[in-house]
Structure 1
């Protein structure tokens, strides 16, 4: 049975935080193959916020736990620094501008996913200089 009114109420509590701070979580979803469905992204992130997997500002508290909950598969996620983004293989990369940050997915040096139509962090900024990339690998 579905409960659309309950769903709408739960999502409405979280939608502002998802819109402001959900970029890294959305990048993780893209990297594990969840793509091209904005409503599904919002549903997943709201559900994870309600369950405490993401905090109330949609911050990823534990990337491996988040990805396992969403996919049912175990992933290892590490923070790494890439000076040459052409070596990045479909991972989240943090761009910074004017003290603000925004996460996008980069593959072979090109941005392949950006949760915003326009981000000044991306258009005017540059990749963060410390631990700018999250490397995602299936756990063995």
Structure 2
């Protein structure tokens, strides 16, 4: 009898292990779907009592199992409370680092003062115009 190793960490399962377990679930669900198809064919030839009920059950399995199998196969395991708290703290730290706080007194405003030239073709800054004139 093979003993399972003792888990001594809170680390999540490796992505390969997660992928393998999702593959197993997907193949299992699709096998059940194939079994529904085979059972439906056997039921039609055997004509048991309540045949429509059994056929509806098999048809529902054949329709809904592929949808559920894909959803389950693409889903990753839920995050633990510690992982959610760490993600929230990282998001908050990032938002505080990227959004500097300024008061209205410290804010510097850039004012662009432009006037048209005599010909009206191009706008030039007032400082440049004054230098050209003077």
Return the TM-score normalized by structure 1. Answer: 0.19
Return the TM-score normalized by structure 2. Answer: 0.20
| Higher strand proportion | 1
| Higher helix proportion | 2
Which structure: larger Rg?
A: 2
